Amino acid sequence: MRKMVLFAIIIGLLLAAGCTTAPVNNTLPGTVSTNTAPTSGTMGIPVTLVTIVPGTVLPMNAEVALGSKQKPFNVSIESIEVDEQTEPGKHTISIYVGAKNTGTDLVKLVWFSRLTDVNGKTYGGIGISHAGSGARTRNISPNWTEMARDYVVVNSDEGFATLAKGAVLDVYFIEFKPEDSSLKPDYHTAWVINPSVIR
């Protein structure tokens, strides 16, 4: 009886704390901590603002707060599309990410996308996606969102079919600095790509 009362008290304390941490996917590691109510992306995709826990993979609808105190911004996946095939066995996957400036200064970003399939094989990455140049935004004004296209090329039908079973999208964000050509990312986040999104 004493154990049941103690268990009930612990459950009550956890519920009162209001902390929600949920597994993203049974086959992919990661947790996400929700810290605001669900919002809506620029294209009407429902998103949830999250705080990144190091080493985690977030669900596709997660909107992530990044940036510095001077230049904060939120990012989310807007859409993933497969371009029409132009060569046999060559598949181009377009990845649209939206970046919303939540601060008071202009924000300009470059980012590189990398897809990892269920077997751990990767496509794209820093200095590779978008033919090496990555996605680039213009200056984003405060309270404005800009969407930019990055793309990853998969040069085999087999690799493309494996990605269609589910993948992880890593995006490496770099704050654009005219005097700095470094490809060292300032921020990184990863999302689970649900099966059949890539098809």
| DSSP string over 51-100 | EPPTT--B-TTEEEEEE-SSSEEEEEEEEEEEPPPSSTT-EEEEEEEEEE
Number of domains, the chain? 1
Q: What is the pLDDT of residues 132-165, one digit of tens each?
A: 999 999 999 999 999 999 999 999 999 999 999 9
**What is the band of 7 on the pLDDT scale with cuts at 50, 70, 90?**
very low
- Assigned token pair, 146: 């800009």
Handedness of CA 29, 120, 61, 195 (dihedral sign): negative
- Assigned token pair, 166: 């589910």
DSSP-assigned beta bridge partners for residue 135:
111
Looking at residues 153-179, what average pLDDT do you find? 94
Full residue range of the structural domain in which residue 83 is found = 60-193
Q: What is the pLDDT of residues 40-90, one digit of tens each?
A: 333 344 565 655 556 789 999 999 999 999 899 999 999 999 999 999 999
Q: Is residue 171 part of a domain?
A: yes
CATH number at residue 103: 2.60.40.10
d(CA 17, CA 13): 6
Q: Is residue 103 part of a domain?
A: yes
Q: Which of 117, 121, 118, 115 is nearest to 172 (CA)?
A: 115
Q: Is residue 17 part of a domain?
A: no
Q: Is residue 177 part of a domain?
A: yes
Q: Is residue 70 part of a domain?
A: yes
d(CA 23, CA 33): 10
Q: What is the model's pTM?
A: 0.75
Q: Is residue 42 part of a domain?
A: no
Q: Is residue 89 part of a domain?
A: yes
